[in-house]
Amino acid sequence: MYPTERRDALLRVLSQKGFVSIQDLAAQLNVSEITIRRDLTMLQRQGMVEKVAGGGRAAKSTSELAFMNKRVLQQAEKTAIAKRALSLIEPGMTISMSAGTTTWTLAKWIKPESLATGSGTPVAQLEVKERRSQARMKRESLTFVTNSTNIAIALQANGWRDIHLTGGQFRTPSDALVGPLAEQSARQLHADLLFLGAHGVDLEFGVSSPNLQEASVHRVLMERAETAVLLFDHTKWGGRGFAHLAMLDEVDVVITDASAEKDGDSDPHAVEIAELRRRGPEVIVARAETDDT
């Protein structure tokens, strides 16, 4: 049984029975208790289950967490991903950014001084165009498009001036702008680079969102971008949100984090990453500075 299939089965058991002990889950799914604990931890981070003493239970609500709650999760991983993403940005670019906490983290790191000094280790070469000069970035040299009010505020706080919001209906809990107006304005724009977040990433289901309207706007942003860069931390692996957004071979670059367990095991998502590379996207793996804590 693949990890994604196992987690789906685990969710079905919890939804049917409510609370189930770790021992019973391990027996039913024919895996170790350590594996069950890891699965419960991942699913709890996605807001799908609640870990309790000795076992787990279905979350009281399967809806997504609010932006204010999600932004404090996996902060080290999101920061590592953001730093690697910085070196894809070139002077003069128009950059679109989908709503999400990982893209919001990146927005906080997009500063003229960070881009000028080339923060982060240089990433593998993209085939889109040759790297431009690393001359000092001016605030006027980047244009931003986003359907996230939080991202727009973060960019403005860093001194950027050319920021365009799509407009549309304000949606909670993601604080995203969605609906026909957002889609219409997004269709009229072109971006060199899209930074795309995800609610879930699955090898078969692809990239997903918890909401149809949000997925629709983000899909338009993809269609209007020369290069789509998918940003997600390891807790999103195996997740399947309500709305399909794109298949993984539709994105050009993937930046995720190394998720080696603290007990010394190898990266539990090495198989998924290897398969993703075989499918075509350039895959960049960032390592959080707090991995050893």
Q: What CA–CA distance (Å, rounded) separates 146 from 152?
A: 7
Confidence at residue 65, expressed as pLDDT on a 0 to 100 scale: 58
CATH of residue 20: 1.10.10.10
Q: Look at residue 195 in the predicted model and tell me its pLDDT.
A: 99
Range of the domain at 46: 3-58
Q: What are phi and psi of 202, to 5 degrees?
A: -135, 140
Burial (CB < 10 A; 0-12, 13-18, 19+), residue 265, is: exposed
The pLDDT score that the predictor gives to residue 187 is 97
Angle of helix 33-45 versus helix 22-29 axis, rounded to 10: 110
Q: What is the pLDDT of residue 115?
A: 73
Q: Are residues 52 and 189 in the same domain?
A: no
Per-residue tokens: 136: 């000092």
- β-bridge pairing 55-58 and 20-21: antiparallel
Last residue of a domain, one of 58, 75, 98: 58
- The terminus-to-terminus CA distance of the chain in angstroms comes to 31
User: Which among 58, 75, 99 is the end of a domain?
Assistant: 58
Q: Are 57 and 156 in contact (CB under 8 A)?
A: no
52 & 78 share domain: no
Q: Are residues 229 and 271 in the same domain?
A: yes
Query: CA-to-CA distance for 257 and 149, rounded, in angstroms?
Result: 26
Query: What strand order describes the sheet that includes 55-58?
Result: 20-21, 55-58, 49-52
Q: What is the structure's pLDDT at 61?
A: 45
- Kindly state whether residues 53 and 72 are assigned to the same domain: no
Q: Are residues 189 and 89 in the same domain?
A: yes
Please tell me whether residues 34 and 131 are part of one structural domain.
no
Q: What total number of domains does the chain contain?
A: 2
Answer left, alpha or beta for residue 196, where phi above 0 means left and psi between -120 and 50 means alpha: beta
At 284 the three-state DSSP class reads strand
Do both 148 and 262 map to the same domain? yes
Task: CATH number of the domain at 114, please.
Answer: 3.40.50.1360
**Residue 269 sits in the same domain as residue 140:** yes
Do 46 and 178 have their domain in common?
no
Residue 15 burial by Cβ neighbours in a 10 Å radius (0-12, 13-18, 19+): middle
Degrees to nearest 5, angle at CA 84 with 80 and 87 = 150
The whole-model pTM stands at 0.71
263 lies in the same domain as 199: yes
Do 173 and 130 have their domain in common? yes
pLDDT in tens, the chain (293 residues): 778 778 878 887 886 677 899 999 999 999 999 999 999 998 887 667 888 889 988 765 444 555 665 666 678 899 999 999 999 999 999 999 999 999 999 999 999 887 754 444 434 444 444 444 444 455 568 999 999 999 999 999 999 999 999 999 998 778 899 999 999 999 999 999 999 999 999 999 999 998 889 999 999 999 999 999 999 998 888 888 888 999 999 999 999 998 634 334 566 678 888 999 998 899 999 987 744 43
50 and 177 in a common domain: no
Measured N-to-C along each axis, helices 212-223 and 180-187 cross at an angle, to the nearest 10 degrees, of: 10
- What's the helix, strand, coil split of the chain in %, to 5? 40, 20, 40
Domain boundary among 58, 75, 104: 58
SS3 assignment for 196-247: ECCCEEECCCEEEECCHHHHHHHHHHHHCEEEEEEECCHHHECCCCCEEEEC
